């Protein structure tokens, strides 16, 4: 089959218009936002044109379904609060183009998906987590975003069906995505075939101290929630040294103080704690360090600590057969310009692996930048990635 | 003269209804909010009734003016985002009651004021700073609150005159206020006569690093703005040890990360840095430590640092004569139950001292709590404070 790279690039740029940030190719299209819902309506039309009847599942994940058994391709079309134009959108449009090319070539049968809330406005890869059964719809509905909105309220704003698509109709899942890291770009390579996806843990932690006057409360009498956060951050940075590998990462990306005023000793500090690694045992050891450090800091500083619900996904190995066809196809389309590599980023493929064989394909991220307006990939690399994906699917026919 | 404590307490509770938080006696009445503007309109009516023609100056500070030369009493009626019912409101209503009692007694002449934005939504004691000339109206208009609103926009929402009141019509200024600290309450004393007010410095600092993916960006390649803040906080806590006294305080009360998401390495961190001390030299030395530490952390972590405009007020001695009459009056109304003490909190009296003799009177804060809904003072202490203020003013007659 021969994918049409012009049609592929044109659709990719058209999708970028939904939530265009007006800064470079940046996009603001968080899950369930008006821009996200409009983009999915546009995608549903494209699926229809391609002869793939569109189906919104109860979470708002959008499928384009081939008749009978098929390979499932896709990713997600929602973005971070400040995202790039490719991220998950690339995998969705590449899937659409390969499905069209396969139909034109008389097979094999290809279905397409854009999962909802991969970027975790409410949880972690929420749409595929519910579809795969690792999170119940009831529990998902109770999740809240940073502003306190519930997922139940958010999904009520878009078209959804009452029924989930039966995973058994799919023979496997291949997700094409940007690397989101520096390695392919630094090496000048065009393609990465993923060996495994790291596991992730994510929770909110709150320190509650005593809100008081910033001029009249002596330092030795303060129970300052921000100072507790500072001590906690220093403690885990120190203690992780004996636990982590150079590939392990951890991040405090969200902080909310209360009442958040210059002249008031902060009464509470709520923050996000996220950590990732290829080894479940290490993830669990890091959780112990986090809980011990937070509890000790709270005791030493006379504040209370509380831990939110922990969301997480286990590390996952890619399927040997699907990996094999991707490696063969990469060698054909990008000889000596591809590598095998782990994924440091989380992807919907992790959830989907509960029900079928999964594999992933990476293209380079310029300067390793993603989750930012500056995110980009050269057109040549985008097209090479499309060809590798199409070549792999052709071998499955 | 005999102040009417019933009338005083009743007015104090009536004022509390403007912006009542519904939590204990808590009040939410920030400067220029609808509740603040309504409270000032109510006060203007009270001044009118008391035979004190009301005058809003260009900043929205509200005066009740006696004919000819007079002593000025008062404080402020705006509150913190989460404030108590007394704070500045106590000094305004006590001033109103003493002015009424003085009129009934045939003198002396007393004027009353409620300054605008003492709590620093836009700056630091902004209303009295502009009135005293330490900040120009033009510069004040450019100040912004945490949400980016300008003071020019805020003051346009309330009635203001084009003319400032001439400070030379006042022979001095006495401000009654809650202590906002633990000392009087712990000692079981009723009244504090202030000897001096600490100086304050306040600025916003921003670290700018590189926003990136929290899963694929190795720790050693990160330029994490929150980690820079953590290192800065640890550095000043350590270095201040050799600079400060047990009375010195410093606070990081406001923190804003960008984009503030779980899965993104923070690209920027903007935070408030405020410090207070009785000694200008020490305040300056602390500023050096802050700028040096922030610059060093920025260099070490590969981020950029920028410093906002520094707002500040110098330490101020209270006027000997006014202090004397307050001490005499305290000895009469609260024999052996009062003390001389410094003010750790900043007050409008600091600005007013540029133009006239100033003095201050404190009543206890239960458990030293203020700038919180729980702030309170016993009725007996409120009334004793009122009597001490009235007695002092009577001696000036």
Please give, rounded to a whole number of angstroms, the shortest distance from the CA of B65 to a CA of chain A.
31
Strands (DSSP E) along B241-290, which ranges? 249-251, 255-258, 264-265, 268-277
Q: Tokens for A180, please give them.
A: 């989101």
Chain A residues whose CB is inside 8 A of the B119 CB are 263
- A-contacting residues of B 251-290, CB under 8 Å? 251-255, 257, 259-267, 272, 274, 276
Which pLDDT value is given to residue A372? 86
Q: What is the pLDDT of residues B44-89, one digit of tens each?
A: 999 999 999 999 999 999 999 999 999 999 999 999 999 999 999 9
Beta bridge partners of B150: B144
Percent of chain A scoring above 70 in pLDDT:
100
Task: For residue B260, give the nearest of A249, A254, A274 by CB distance.
Answer: A254
End-to-end CA distance of chain B, in Å?
10
Check: CB of residue B230 under 8 Å from CB of residue A230.
yes
Q: Name the residue among A118, A49, A42 with its Cα closest to residue A87.
A: A118
Chain B residues whose CB is inside 8 A of the A179 CB are 216
Which pLDDT value is given to residue A123? 85
Percent of chain B scoring above 90 in pLDDT:
91
Which pLDDT value is given to residue B123? 85
d(CA A353, CA A349): 6
Task: For residue A259, give the nearest of B81, B218, B248 by CB distance.
Answer: B81
Chain A CB within 8 Å of residue B182 CB: yes
Please give, rounded to a whole number of angstroms, the shortest distance from the CA of A65 to a CA of chain B.
31
Residue of A nearest to B244 (CA): A219
Which pLDDT value is given to residue B318? 97
Please give, rounded to a whole number of angstroms, the shortest distance from the CA of A220 to a CA of chain B.
8
Please give, rounded to a whole number of angstroms, the shortest distance from the CA of B203 to a CA of chain A.
9
d(CA A144, CA B35): 31
pLDDT beyond 90 at A124: no
Chain A CB within 8 Å of residue B17 CB: no
Cis peptide before B204 (omega within 30 of 0): no
Angle, vertex CA A53, rays to CA A48 and CA A59, nearest 5: 110
d(CA A200, CA A277): 7
Which pLDDT value is given to residue B286? 98
Cis peptide before A259 (omega within 30 of 0): yes
Q: What is the pLDDT of residues B118-165, one digit of tens each?
A: 999 998 899 999 999 999 999 999 999 989 999 999 999 999 998 999
**Can you give the pTM of this predicted structure?**
0.77
Task: For residue A263, give the nearest of B80, B182, B264 by CB distance.
Answer: B80
Chain A residues whose CB is inside 8 A of the B217 CB are 181, 249, 368
Percent of chain A scoring above 90 in pLDDT:
91
Beta bridge partners of B197: B316, B343
* Dihedral angle computed from the Cα positions of residues A70, A73, A79 and A85, in that order, rounded to the nearest 10 degrees: -140
Please give, rounded to a whole number of angstroms, the shortest distance from the CA of B396 to a CA of chain A.
31
What is the pLDDT confidence band of residue A49, given thresholds at 50, 70 and 90?
very high
Which pLDDT value is given to residue A383? 98
B106-110, B125-129, B334-338, B343-347: range with lowest mean pLDDT: B343-347
Chain A residues whose CB is inside 8 A of the B264 CB are 80-82, 251, 253, 371-372
Compute the count of residue pairs across chains A and B with CB atoms less than 8 Å apart. 207
Chain B residues whose CB is inside 8 A of the A251 CB are 214, 224, 262-265
For A254, the enclosing helix (H) or strand (E) is none
What value does the mean pLDDT of chain A take?
96
User: In this structure, how many other beta carbons lie within 10 angstroms of the beta carbon of residue B13?
Assistant: 12
Q: Average pLDDT of A118-143?
A: 94
- B-contacting residues of A 336-375, CB under 8 Å? 344-346, 368-372
Q: What is the pLDDT of residues A347-389, one digit of tens each?
A: 999 999 999 999 999 999 999 988 889 999 999 999 999 999 9
Please give, rounded to a whole number of angstroms, the shortest distance from the CA of B181 to a CA of chain A.
5
Chain B CB within 8 Å of residue A192 CB: no
For A145, residues 6+ apart whose C-beta sits below 8 A from its C-beta are: A121, A122, A151, A154
CB contact under 8 A, A265 and B251: yes
CB contact under 8 A, B253 and A234: no
For B75, the enclosing helix (H) or strand (E) is strand B70-76
Which pLDDT value is given to residue A195? 95
Which pLDDT value is given to residue A276? 95
Per the document, the length of chain A is 397
pLDDT beyond 80 at A397: no
Which pLDDT value is given to residue B372? 86
pLDDT beyond 90 at B313: no
Q: What is the SS3 assignment for A41? A: helix
Which pLDDT value is given to residue A199? 93
CB contact under 8 A, A249 and B218: yes
**Pairing assessment for the beta strands A199-208 and B62-64 based on DSSP bridges:** unpaired
pLDDT beyond 90 at A312: no
Q: Average pLDDT of A73-77?
A: 98
Q: Name the residue among A286, A265, A288 with its Cα closest to residue A274.
A: A286
Cis peptide before B259 (omega within 30 of 0): yes
Which pLDDT value is given to residue B346? 86
Q: Tokens for A119, please give them.
A: 């970027």
Residue of B nearest to A244 (CA): B219
DSSP string spanning A92-161? HHHHHHHHHHHHHTT---EEEEEES-TT-SSSSSHHHHHHHTSS-HHHHHH-B-TTS-BHHHHHTTS---
Q: What is the pLDDT of residues B168-195, one digit of tens each?
A: 999 999 999 999 988 999 999 999 999 9
Angle, vertex CA B288, rays to CA B144 and CA A267, nearest 5: 55
Task: For residue A182, give the nearest of B221, B257, B261 by CB distance.
Answer: B221
d(CA A199, CA A278): 6
pLDDT beyond 80 at A264: yes
What is the pLDDT confidence band of residue A311, given thresholds at 50, 70 and 90?
confident
Check: CB of residue B249 under 8 Å from CB of residue B234.
no
Quote the radius of gyration of chain A (alpha carbons, Å).
22
Residue of A nearest to B198 (CA): A215
Which pLDDT value is given to residue B124? 82
Which pLDDT value is given to residue A371? 85
pLDDT beyond 90 at B311: no
Q: Average pLDDT of B326-355?
A: 95
Check: CB of residue A305 under 8 Å from CB of residue A297.
yes
Q: What is the pLDDT of residues B244-253, one digit of tens each?
A: 998 899 999 9
The packing angle between helices B379-396 and B320-333, to 10°, is 130
Q: Tokens for A285, please give them.
A: 């050891």
d(CA B192, CA B182): 12
């Amino acid at each position: 089959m021969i994918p049409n790279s012009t049609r592929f690039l044109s659709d990719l740029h058209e999708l970028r218009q939904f939530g265009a940030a007006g800064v470079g190719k940046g996009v603001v299209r968080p899950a369930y936002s008006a821009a996200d819902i409009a983009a999915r309506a546009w995608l549903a039309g494209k699926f229809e044109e391609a002869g793939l009847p569109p189906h919104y599942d109860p979470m708002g994940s959008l499928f384009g379904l081939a008749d009978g058994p098929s390979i499932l391709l896709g990713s997600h079309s929602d973005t971070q609060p400040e995202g790039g134009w490719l991220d998950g959108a690339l995998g969705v449009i590449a899937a659409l183009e390969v499905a069209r090319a396969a139909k034109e070539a008389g097979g094999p049968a290809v279905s397409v998906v854009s999962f909802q809330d991969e970027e975790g406005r409410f949880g972690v890869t929420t749409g595929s987590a519910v579809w795969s059964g690792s999170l119940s719809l009831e529990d998902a509905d109770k999740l809240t975003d940073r502003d306190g909105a519930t997922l139940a309220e958010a999904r009520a704003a878009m078209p959804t069906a009452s029924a989930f698509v039966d995973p058994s109709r799919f023979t496997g899942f291949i997700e094409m995505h940007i690397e989101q890291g520096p390695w392919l770009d630094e090496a000048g390579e065009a393609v990465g075939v993923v060996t495994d996806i790291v596991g992730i843990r994510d929770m909110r932690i709150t320190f509650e101290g005593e809100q008081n006057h910033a001029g009249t409360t002596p330092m030795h009498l303060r129970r300052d929630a921000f100072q507790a956060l500072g001590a906690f951050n220093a403690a885990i940075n120190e203690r992780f040294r004996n636990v982590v590998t150079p590939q392990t990462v951890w991040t405090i990306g969200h902080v909310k103080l209360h009442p958040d005023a210059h002249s008031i000793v902060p009464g509470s500090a709520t923050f996000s704690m996220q950590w990732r690694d290829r080894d479940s045992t290490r993830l669990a050891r890091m959780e112990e360090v986090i809980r011990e450090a937070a509890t000790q800091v709270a005791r030493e500083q006379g504040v209370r600590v509380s831990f939110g619900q922990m969301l997480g996904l286990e590390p996952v190995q890619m399927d040997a057969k699907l990996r094999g066809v991707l490696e063969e196809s990469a060698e054909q389309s990008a000889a000596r310009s591809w590598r095998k590599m782990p994924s440091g980023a989380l992807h919907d493929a992790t959830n989907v692996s509960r029900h079928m064989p999964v594999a992933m394909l990476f293209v380079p991220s310029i300067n390793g930048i993603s989750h930012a307006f500056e995110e980009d990939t050269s057109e040549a690399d985008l097209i090479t990635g499309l060809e590798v994906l199409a070549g792999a699917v052709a071998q499955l026919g």
